Structure 1
Amino acid sequence: MSVGYAVAYRLGIRPWERAGSAAQASFDALLDREEAERPRPPGRALDLGCGRGHNTVTLAGRGWDAVGVDNIQRALDDARASAPAGAKFVQGDVTALSTSTLGTFDFFLDVGCFHGLSKEQQAAEARGVTSLANPGATLLMVAFSPHGLPLLPSGVTSEDVATAYAGWAIESVEPADTTGMPKPLRRTAPQWYRLRLT
């Protein structure tokens, strides 16, 4: 999957960014809810598969000590070129996360990364996130539901998420805003999952 993303960044094809911008208000509402139970500043956040860093920058702007991690160098170069204070970007593999290079976190964000991984990779991402998680940490993840569309991540079920993230409780599952998505992609019925380390 990372090869496909590398090609897309090289060609400037990034429909997920357009969709994210169109759904910014609903994303902000999710972050408002996330931050309501936290002190100010809210803590450290890790944006998994951050791409060019839009969500990492959003988190930094809201007071998080925000780190974005991705394995696509071109995307990270773009992210670093416009990164404000409070946003940091690290090249790395979400299936091989390390506390020695990243530290620990209170909040994790996965916008469409998990659902593009194999079952083994999903389990590896979850193990890495768990190793980096402070007590009571939360994870907010958006992922496609299973579908039959070609050339796209095949999607995941709640059971897939629960299996990979053993030791975390799924606190909510709700439909994602698909306003900015191309019409065929809306058939993937993306869901927002909120999990908490137990």
Structure 2
Amino acid sequence: MALGWKLAYRLGLTPWERAADQGQDQLDALLDKIETDRTRPLGRALDIGCGTGRHTHDLADRGWDATGVDFVPLAIEKARARGGGASFVCGDVTDLASLGLEPFDLFLDIGCLHVFDRYRRAAVSRQVTDLARPGAQMVLLAFQPNTLPFVPAGISQQDVEETYADWDLVATELADVRGMPKPLRKTAPRFYTLRLR
């Protein structure tokens, strides 16, 4: 799978970026809810599996001290080339501890966790929880379990809750799929909002 992501960026086959354009209003509404009770500066945010940094830059524009992390060097190069106030780190999200990151108040995971098996999901959640400040929040987007070819297998709500056992599930809602290729709409992606206990 890792080679597949690198090849997709090299060939420019990134349909998830088009889908992000269509679903931006929904994500903005979720972030608005999180930001309602916060004062500026909003805090530190980590975009997990940030790709070319679209959401990381958006977080920075909203007033977060935003950092994006992804293991695909070309994606990180493109993210940095956009300029702006966000910072980017090339690294493995299952080993965030090795990246020398400071604690965060917000985590954004738009389609990263659902690509991993149970073992790697547990590694991500441990790393994220270790980097989370008290009361930290998370917005996570994941496909539901599916058997579509060449598509991440997805995770259920129960998987999310078990993976992030130290976090409370605050809300969940179906994601806007209008910008996704038709076959991917069958994955019925959901947004999950979580808060560290």
Normalising by the residue count of structure 1, what TM-score does the alignment of the two structures yield? Answer: 0.97
1:40 counterpart residue number: 40
User: 1:123 aligned to 2:122?
Assistant: yes
2:110 counterpart residue number: 111
Q: Deviations over 1:27-69 (max 9, x none)?
A: 1111111111211121000000000000000000000000000
Q: Deviations over 1:71-97 (max 9, x none)?
A: 000000111111202x00001111011
Q: Output the aligned Cα RMSD.
A: 1.0
Q: CA deviation at 1:148?
A: 2.1
Q: CA deviation at 1:179?
A: 1.3
2:82 counterpart residue number: 82
2:18 counterpart residue number: 18
Q: Which of structure 1's runs of 4+ aligned residues deviate more than 3 A?
A: none
Q: Tell me if the contact between 2:91 and 2:99 (Cα under 8 Å) persists in the aligned partners.
A: no
| Inter-partner Cα distance in structure 1 for 2:91 and 2:146 | 29
| Inter-partner Cα distance in structure 1 for 2:191 and 2:25 | 14
Any unmatched runs of 5+ in structure 2?
none
1:31 counterpart residue number: 31
State the one-letter code of the partner of 2:96: L
User: 1:66 aligned to 2:66?
Assistant: yes
Q: CA deviation at 1:158?
A: 1.1
1:174 counterpart residue number: 173
Deviates more, 1:97-106 or 1:60-69: 97-106
| Inter-partner Cα distance in structure 2 for 1:167 and 1:29 | 25
| Inter-partner Cα distance in structure 2 for 1:70 and 1:104 | 17
Q: CA deviation at 1:99?
A: 7.5
State the one-letter code of the partner of 2:20: G
Q: Deviations over 1:91-114 (max 9, x none)?
A: 111101127611100000000000
2:90 counterpart residue number: 91
2:158 counterpart residue number: 159
Q: CA 1:42 to 1:120, structure 2 compared with 1: closer, same or farther past 3 Å?
A: same
Normalising by the residue count of structure 2, what TM-score does the alignment of the two structures yield? Answer: 0.97
State the one-letter code of the partner of 1:81: A
- The total of aligned residue pairs comes to 197
